[in-house]
Amino acid sequence: MYTIRRYDLYNESDIAIATHKTMPMGTDLIAWSRQLNVVLENGTSFDYGPYTPVPDWVQRNQRHAYYACVSYVDEHIGFILGVLERNELLDETLIVMHADHGVRI
């Protein structure tokens, strides 16, 4: 089991999976990207593609980790906002958040 903080906030069996698991037939394959090499930490791998879905258990597992990550970040943003508010700096502070999906190498 993962030891990620906030992981315990979510019950993996309650996490929904994708409604549409593959691309609709006839979709231009330019919409598909196979940049990811999927091998899980435990060495498990699986075939996936535009017409081969990611297994349900992998979807739930990866969404579970994502939800925990978002909750962890939210906790820290809340901490920062609390410090600003306690020091009467909240109205004097511009808060900018930025995210990136990564760099294609």
Considering the domain boundaries, does residue 80 fall inside one?
Answer: yes
Q: What is the pLDDT of residue 37?
A: 62
Instruction: Give the range of the structural domain holding residue 54, as residue numbers without chain letter.
Output: 7-92
Considering the domain boundaries, does residue 1 fall inside one?
Answer: no
pLDDT tens for each residue of the chain, 105 residues long? 445 678 899 999 999 999 999 888 888 888 777 666 677 778 888 878 888 888 899 889 889 988 998 898 899 999 999 999 999 999 999 998 887 665 554
pTM: 0.73
Average pLDDT value for the chain: 84
Q: How many domains does the chain have?
A: 1
Considering the domain boundaries, does residue 105 fall inside one?
Answer: no
Q: What is the pLDDT of residue 1?
A: 47
* 58 sits in which H/E element: helix 56-86
Q: Coil, helix or strand for 39?
A: strand
Considering the domain boundaries, does residue 99 fall inside one?
Answer: no
Q: Coil, helix or strand for 74?
A: helix
